[in-house]
Structure 1
């Protein structure tokens, strides 16, 4: 068994063809498995004679209520931990 470096095992999804406008359609089964929707952006890499598409993940956005820890109260964060970890 070969080591895949923590990545999922390689799986074939059929063939794809570049049309006369340079477009390539990713097979539906693969789009569904990877939850790729229209507008998903990729970085295109050349690896020798192979092409790799690497999905670009959206940048994380910080969300804040605008309240300080003092405004939330001492127990707010303790209660959140209990809810998340079952009171451990």
Structure 2
């Protein structure tokens, strides 16, 4: 996973705000194993549960013309 790519985003779900993560990765590991590792690390470090995790290839997250990630567009994908 690219260290600058993970986006932690709140999204609405059944009247509550949930944690979602969108991340770019080029790791040779199954999506299922990587998502489990991310969920475990977030829960252990921060005490919260990531409900949705989206893994995409490097460069796939929407960016501005200056290269910053478009958080609103990332949130829409969750």
Q: After TM superposition, is the score higher than 0.5? A: no
- Which structure has more RCO (C-alpha within 8 Å, separation ≥ 6)? 2
The structure that is strand-richer by fraction is 2
**TM-score (ref. length: structure 1):** 0.26
Between structure 1 and structure 2, the one with the greater Rg is 1
